Amino acid sequence: MAIWGVGVDVVDLARFEKSLERTPGLRSRLFRPEELAAGHTTESLAARFGAKEAFVKALRSPAGLSWQDIEVVQDAAGAPSLELHGAAASRVQELGITAVHLSLSHDTSVATAFVVAES
């Protein structure tokens, strides 16, 4: 296996929260209903948004992606991963990417996401 792409994103928590407050429909544009139903904190949503941005960077900004195509899920132990839909899933298959790894973190003022795509 080889690393195909790497993406990282940092989200300012205060700025993200203000954006959500200022634009009520933003949550439903950025996150799938399953992500919103989980009741994540603003910090957790910011990290998840960062994961979507990091994924886009790792794949070198493929055209046609929707934020809805990229879903952050957790396994039984709480480890995050990406579940891909629509154009994101098609693009990963087209590029021959066999695994996508995700790491999330958030602290008092920032959330960070790191994505590695393998082929």
Active site residue ranges: 57, 106
Determine phi and psi for 6, rounding to 5 degrees. -130, 140
**Whole-Å CA distances, 108 to 11, 12, 93, 98, 111:** 11, 10, 37, 34, 8
What is the DSSP code (8-state) at residue 63?
Answer: T
Contact indicator for 75, 82 with CB cutoff of 8 Å? no
Helices (DSSP H) in 1-119: which residue ranges? 13-22, 26-30, 33-37, 42-58, 86-95
